[in-house]
Structure 1
Amino acid sequence: MVIIKTKEAYLLWHNFLVNLKRIDRYTVGQRIDDTFLTLLELLFRASFAYDKFEKLALISQAIGKRDLLNFFLQLGWEHKIIPHKMYSDLIIRLDEIGRMLGGWKKSLAEKTPAK
């Protein structure tokens, strides 16, 4: 489910990306796009990881990427690159994704014995 929510947020971002000015699209816009794709890759890999320790590590990395995405979006919003409506839509979606990732990590940590 978290992958689906992330894909929906990425689609919203990607459709907006083409509307950015060239300078913004190839700086902050590209960074946000790359971070979204890395987040999707980590989630995909985590969903198919067999080893619980590997899965836990991938989820932790995904949480870090989501936080980085929030930072880049905030940066774009503060510099008037991203309009308020787009920023709020994306942040609401990313907050939900963050809660889902936190729950996934917590449930996995409870099932996984300490090394």
Structure 2
Amino acid sequence: MAWVAIFKKFNHPYFLTFKQAKRFEETIRKGQKGTKVVFWKISKLVLGQARNEAVEDEDFYGRKFTPCIWTVFNIDQIEGIEFASNETKARVVTPLETCEQIIS
């Protein structure tokens, strides 16, 4: 989400869903567009049973990936929210400088 904050020139890299903003009794500014985010919920499933070499029953497990899609709004798009932070702008990350720091 940091790249969205940088690309859209938001002052903070923090986002809320519509429900979260409503819970804090805040409103989204008129005309604001949210950003879609995807969270993958991973569930473990039992696919079946089989016998192993020691003639014991074993369960075969698989995973089920379920996408959950939400629309989030940056706190700059929400009216009435007071947010105290030492940061005034979203931090700009330059990969080359970060790599040089790691190597040093």
* Fold shared per TM-score above 0.5: no
TM-score by length of 2: 0.23
Task: Give the TM-score, by structure 1 length.
Answer: 0.22
Which has the larger Rg? 2
* Bigger helix share: 1
Higher relative contact order (CA 8 A, sep 6+): 2
> Which structure has more strand as a fraction of its residues?
2
